[in-house]
Amino acid sequence: MTTDPEHVHMTEEVNGESVHLMYVEVWDGLYAPIGVRKPKGDGPFPMVLMAAGNGGEGMCWIRDAVRNRAYTMDRLTDAGMACAWLRYRTEVELGYNNGGKMVRDRRQGQEMFSRSPLEYEDEIAIADYLKTLPWVDEDRIGVIGMSHGGEMALKIASEYHGLAAAVASEPAAHEFLALSHDNTAFVNDDTGMRNIEEMQMVEVDKVRRRIDMETASLRISTIKTPFLVMGRDDDHLQGIFRTTYELMEEAGKDVEWVSYDHDFHGYVFPVRGDDGEYELDNVQVEAIDHVICWLKQRMG
């Protein structure tokens, strides 16, 4: 471990590879954990940030991910790109819609925010921190976001222009698109919060009828980052994935669409099975090949 308490950084060997575990200060002075892998050499390297799911769980989640979700990390480092699994604060239901744009002011010599930071803003803070490191090429930062992580990538790119490329894999972009839910979603009586786990949004026409087009179009209009949007053929949210792509394409954005027939939500991030081997098939290999080729083309 390094001795600087303000920049905690430790290295451990995982599956024969050196993993750099770091705590990164985010906007409100709290710390988000990340796990970094680098190619051999001094760099500067392109850096790919990886995000999946709703957040929370801290460094424990990171240490598990760099052990058991490291296949894509292996492929990225083999291709000459550094990469990092991220953890961030837990998603706040409708925090993005209800909280409004973050305004940062000062009071009594310190920062004052219009609302608490959200999880996608932690990812922005992490990206900005990594750009300060000498082995990171600050002009070649990309993200791969899966599910809620894919929606985070859209939120980030809508207001932050420091990414060279973004992959939104199975992006659960219902909040970003300002989607109103149908009766396949319901309110949990115990918590008063929505349960949208089995929301049926397969058809593009259905999704288009239920989104706030003005809001969605405004959010998309500010995106400058090239995007690869990835669907999953039989997913119950495929209509959201495809509509996200179509609205970006109609707005003239630099965007590509691809969809794969696979039964695993999160197929771009294979998981190690109980036998210690990755549960991986040719469809996943093809999909990850495509992601890496696309990132190399976009980030150089």
Judged against a pLDDT cut of 90, whether residue 21 lies above it is answered with yes
* Amino acid 17: pLDDT: 94
H/E run at residue 67: helix 58-68
Helix/strand/coil percentages in the chain, nearest 5: 30, 25, 40
Whether 82 has a pLDDT exceeding 80, the answer reads yes
Domain 10-89+115-299 class, CATH top level: alpha beta
Contact 279, 270 (CB under 8 A): yes
Among candidates 157, 115, 128, 185, which has minimal Cα distance to 255? Answer: 157
Task: Using a cut of 0.85, tell me whether the model's pTM lies above it.
Answer: yes
CA-closest candidate to residue 284, choices 254, 256, 264, 258? 264
Residue 3: predicted pLDDT: 67
Percent of the chain clearing pLDDT 70 (strictly above): 98
Q: Which tens digits make up the pLDDT trace of 198-248?
A: 788 899 999 999 999 999 999 999 999 999 999 999 999 999 999 999 999
- Ranges of beta strands (E only) in 26-79 are 31-37, 45-52
Structural domain boundaries in the chain? 10-89+115-299
pLDDT at 2: 53
The stretch 59-83 carries a mean pLDDT of 98
* b (16+ CB within 10 A) / e for 157-189: bbebeebbbbbbbbbbbbbbbbbeeeeebeeee
180-201 residue pLDDT tens: 887 777 778 777 777 677 788 8
